[in-house]
Structure 1
Amino acid sequence: MAAVVGLRCLRCGTLYPPDHHAEDCPACRPVARSNLVVAYDETLMRPRPKPDAAAPRGLWRWGDVLPVTAGEGVSLGEGGSPLHHLARTGAALGLDRLHAKDETRNPTWSFKDRLACMAVSVAKRMGARVVVSSSTGNAGAAAAAYAAKAGLRCVVFTTRGAAGPMLTQMRAYGAEVVETQTKADRWILMEHAVRNFGWFPTSPFFGPVVGSNPYGIEGYKTLAYEIAEAMDWQVPDWCVLPVCYGDALVGLWRGFEEMRAFGWTDRTPRFVAAEVYGSLAAALADGGDVPPEMPKTRDTVAGSIGATRGTFQALDVLRRSGGTAVAVADADAMRWQARLAADEGLYVEPSTAVAFAAIQTLRGDDRIARSATVVALLTASGLKDPAATDAVAAPALPVPADTGAALAALRSAGIFPS
């Protein structure tokens, strides 16, 4: 466990107490609302040996850089996900070294398990009795699962139109799911509960959004550690992520920066935010601190990243890393979802597939070179939202009960040879 000294504003550096996790930075609020990150004792950033190769795999392999001990941790076996080399997809994109960090293998089938693990562990240590999340999917499912493991009550505020399987998953873990008419409605109710009842928030609950719980974001640091170790401590040139509010961007950035301070690696990758409505791309273009609110021109199949406004924390990492943002169309997301499944055996949700559409755009104008090493984050399983796939997939072929007629139908369809 690393020694926590407080929570620090990403924008201005002001240090706040460790229990300031349900707040933003008051000093920055009039200019650009900024999230806080966990600040550790300065000894954390000193050189240290790499972990023993024989140490157990998973998120808690990196417990000495996290804000709680493994003994205090609420764990379901998260982390340790595979890093795939995508040879066929790489060839299609003109990349020799394309990899994918497969977070569909986590306990609730998404990368949000890393955030929930850390947030709920801290909630339990702080004596919280109720964990609360505002979510239309993965974050709520993960919070519900880890709260169940911790023996804590969980309430999830969601909105109409959320994917049915994810709501079912939340309820299966025992969460109380509240459906509001709009996103703003859920934040009003959740903020009331946090401020008046002391519920522990794992996700954003006021707007403009600054990001999720700072302690939860620390769970995402372990993604960087696992990627570097799997690549024999070589750092990829690019990390490409589907981005809503940028929590994983911050976590990965912090992880790579820590490893550089430890002497394990020599640099930090450039980051790409694959987004839906283009708020971060617009902010990078205009040079300001505040990502703009974008018009919601359509309902998107990539609902997990369907924010119309980005965050300062995401914009900050893109600028620090020399990265960029790419807005992706729904049709491209669905095309890459199908291609990954057919070419690599990886069925991901549409929100994940946007990463590959962004890579295609950046390869098209050679911003990502053919020789670059690229890691894409596979954030969640396609089984989280199968209706989106079903809407565009070829239907099953019905055949009659008579064997001869069935064989004829299969030959006619080209499934059996004539």
Structure 2
Amino acid sequence: MSAYLGYLVHPISGERVEESQAYIPAITDDGGHVYPVPAYDLDRVRGLETTNDPGLFRYRPLLPVNDGPVVSLGEGATPTIPLTGLGEQLGMSALYVKDESRNPTWSYKDRLAAVAVTKAVQEGRDTVVVSSTGNHGAAVAAYAARAGIRCVVLTLASAPLAMTTLMQSYGAEVIAVHEPTDRWVLMRQLVDDYGWAPMSGFVTPPSGSNPFGCEGYKTMAYELHAQLGDVPDAIVAPVAYGDAIAGLQRGFSELVTLGLTTKTPRLIAAEPFGPYGKAVREGYRPSDSVAAGSSVAFSIATPMATWQGWNALTATGGTAATASDEQTMQAQQALASRDGVFLEASSTITAAVLPELLARKDIAADEKVVLIGTSTGLKDVPTTAARLPEVPVIAASLPELFNAIGAA
């Protein structure tokens, strides 16, 4: 039996919000936006119940969906891999990566898309719309295709070719604009005037994403608990609008309520420009922003924090750290060459911030630390290739081979 109560609650005031108002962000006292959070009666479930449903819907009792059909591509159950090579380099004895590149569209966004598109289908929606430059749009497009409904992606003219190719290949109608906020203006009109189901946020200051879809990220917490035997001490995640860490925080909190653990991990944001670091130090203010520009970690290159992201960090005693493009790309190379894990730059920034976190004593070398590897490095091959040496072309002879690679 599902523990979902059929309504949501305001995450700050706790006031009840009906499902019909789920996609309308509430304005907070300080002028920010928050989405409501699905409410559950955890007394209805015994422990962490699983079902025979596909993908992450094996956790259906703790997801905001009804008993009808679900939209799944077999997402979830991604491995948690020891990073022995990088761990040895940094002097860390228990470093892991949750490799979300093993999902159907090779990113953690499949967890959001599975739940959000399922909810849209159960609501009788025939069109979903998403604002995205990458993984989010590709995932929603794939799950909309699986569900047999229309998908419209509003992206930027600067979006990488690999990402727009994926979106279009999955059948989405992809439209690009020049300014990020232009996408949100269009999307708000489409949601309000045509009843299209929003798969991402569409207000400024940013608030986060589809509140039902964000619940899909809770399942990473459930899996980590099962894979590690308990929860880790800390989790380092790439953060833009905080959807994943907000979901993780709720998932770990539910594990405590269910009596399966006694602690929640510290959640730590890895970011290029530092809006979450500023919010942790000074308190969250929705109008705050930091200087930002281009970044190899383009999918998390935001100048602004969200309330939900800041809340997940502070509620768990977490923090934030930044890394440069060069540090991020060096970390990508280290993860791939030392541990055989090739992740996109927006993921490897989690490894890039580890030296700073160790130096600040925000993590200890003997703690169990998990990096969230959000997506594969194959999503942005040109950025990686630009930093690699040219492949030598030789005649088929051993002397030339050893001249190119060194001694036998």
Q: Per the shorter chain, which TM-score range?
A: over 0.9
Question: Paired residue for 2:403?
Answer: 412
Change (3 A) 1:294 1:376: same
Q: Deviations over 1:351-392 (max 9, x none)?
A: 000111122211123221111110110000001111110111
What amino acid is the match of 2:209? S
What amino acid is the match of 2:42? L
Using structure 1 for the length normalisation, give the TM-score.
Answer: 0.93
Q: Deviations over 1:40-87 (max 9, x none)?
A: 2xx3256723447x9678412211111114642100000000010111
What amino acid is the match of 2:327? D
Question: Paired residue for 1:130?
Answer: 127
The answer to whether 1:269 aligns with 2:270 is no
The answer to whether 1:258 aligns with 2:254 is yes
In the alignment, which of 152, 155, 177 is matched to residue 155 of structure 1?
A: 152
In structure 2, how many angstroms separate the alpha carbons of the residues matched to 1:130 and 1:376?
A: 34
- Give the superposition deviation at 1:409: 2.9
In structure 2, how many angstroms separate the alpha carbons of the residues matched to 1:8 and 1:382?
A: 37
SS class of match (2:235): strand
Change (3 A) 1:412 1:106: same
In structure 2, how many angstroms separate the alpha carbons of the residues matched to 1:241 and 1:9?
A: 25
In structure 2, how many angstroms separate the alpha carbons of the residues matched to 1:220 and 1:173?
A: 22
Question: Paired residue for 1:184?
Answer: 181
Question: Paired residue for 1:44?
Answer: 42
Gaps of 5+ in 2: none
Question: Paired residue for 1:284?
Answer: 280
Alignment of 1:218-229 (within 5 A): 218-229=215-226
The answer to whether 1:240 aligns with 2:231 is no
In structure 2, how many angstroms separate the alpha carbons of the residues matched to 1:387 and 1:242?
A: 21
CA contact (8 A) 2:284 2:310 kept: no
Alignment of 1:16-415 (within 5 A): 16-26=17-27, 28=28, 30-40=30-40, 43-45=41-43, 48-51=46-49, 58-69=55-66, 71-232=68-229, 234-290=230-286, 292-296=288-292, 298-400=293-395, 403-404=396-397, 407-415=398-406
SS class of match (1:413): helix
SS class of match (1:294): coil
What amino acid is the match of 2:326? A
In structure 1, how many angstroms separate the alpha carbons of the residues matched to 2:149 and 2:45?
A: 38
CA contact (8 A) 1:4 1:18 kept: no
In structure 1, how many angstroms separate the alpha carbons of the residues matched to 2:250 and 2:36?
A: 13
What amino acid is the match of 1:194? V
In structure 1, how many angstroms separate the alpha carbons of the residues matched to 2:15 and 2:272?
A: 32
- Give the superposition deviation at 1:17: 0.9
In structure 2, how many angstroms separate the alpha carbons of the residues matched to 1:51 and 1:15?
A: 26
Q: Considering only aligned residues, what root-mean-square deviation do their CA atoms show, in Å? A: 1.8
In structure 2, how many angstroms separate the alpha carbons of the residues matched to 1:291 and 1:231?
A: 39
In structure 1, how many angstroms separate the alpha carbons of the residues matched to 2:35 and 2:88?
A: 39
Q: Deviations over 1:11-42 (max 9, x none)?
A: 2223211122221113x1653322321122xx
What amino acid is the match of 1:25? A
In structure 1, how many angstroms separate the alpha carbons of the residues matched to 2:353 and 2:54?
A: 31
Worse-superposed segment, 283-292 or 239-248: 283-292
CA contact (8 A) 2:221 2:251 kept: yes
Q: Determine what percentage of the aligned residue pairs are the same residue.
A: 40
Change (3 A) 1:189 1:108: same
Question: Paired residue for 1:8?
Answer: 9
Q: Deviations over 1:117-172 (max 9, x none)?
A: 00000000001110110000000000000000001000000001111111100000
- Give the superposition deviation at 1:416: 5.5
Change (3 A) 1:86 1:291: farther
What amino acid is the match of 1:365? R
Using structure 2 for the length normalisation, give the TM-score.
Answer: 0.95
Q: Deviations over 1:304-348 (max 9, x none)?
A: 111111101000111110000112211111000011010111110
In structure 2, how many angstroms separate the alpha carbons of the residues matched to 1:290 and 1:383?
A: 34
In structure 2, how many angstroms separate the alpha carbons of the residues matched to 1:311 and 1:391?
A: 33
SS class of match (1:257): helix
Worse-superposed segment, 1-10 or 244-253: 1-10
What amino acid is the match of 1:31? G
- Give the superposition deviation at 1:415: 4.4
What amino acid is the match of 1:261? T
